[in-house]
Each structure stands twice: as structure tokens, then as C-alpha cells.
Amino acid sequence: MKDESFEELVASVREGSAILRGEVTPSRRFAWPEELLLRAPRFKSRVAQARRSLREGQGVSIEQLREKHGINS
């Protein structure tokens, strides 16, 4: 690897580390379609229902998950 490329890589890793530590804000952020879907108010109830159905289909009841994670509702 060329020295110049290596230095760019090192700088990039350092910048990424600083972003993860919260010392620097990222220059951009990408939103994936799933993330957008989960945030859309009209889909929240559908997503929640789908998740419940998936959990129940795997033999794990909602009550078991609530107990495991300390959720009371």
C-alpha cells in the first residue's frame, strides 16, 4: 500500500473513532428504507403487529418478552 493511501486510511479510522465517541459530528447520515418505514407514523402500528406475530410464531409470547426485558404494559 502506498504511504499516501495508508495515511488517508489512518485519518479515516481516526475520524470514525471520534464520531463514535461523539467528539465530532458526521458530515452526512444515510437513512435506509427500513429505518424510514419504521419512523413513518402510519406504519408504526403495522410494524409493531408484524413483530408481535413474528415473536409469537417463534414460540415466544409477548408476556415472556416483557418479563425478560422488564416492560410493564
The residue ranking higher by pLDDT, 58 or 53, is 53
Mean pLDDT of 35-41: 71
What pLDDT is stored for residue 73 in this prediction? Answer: 59
Q: Model's pTM, two decimal places?
A: 0.40
Residue 47 to residue 38: CA distance in whole angstroms: 7
The residue ranking higher by pLDDT, 50 or 24, is 24
- Grid look-up 463514535 returns 20
Residue 38 to residue 51: CA distance in whole angstroms: 12
Q: Give the max Cα distance, the chain.
A: 58
Amino acid at 56: E
What pLDDT is stored for residue 7 in this prediction? Answer: 92
What pLDDT is stored for residue 9 in this prediction? Answer: 93
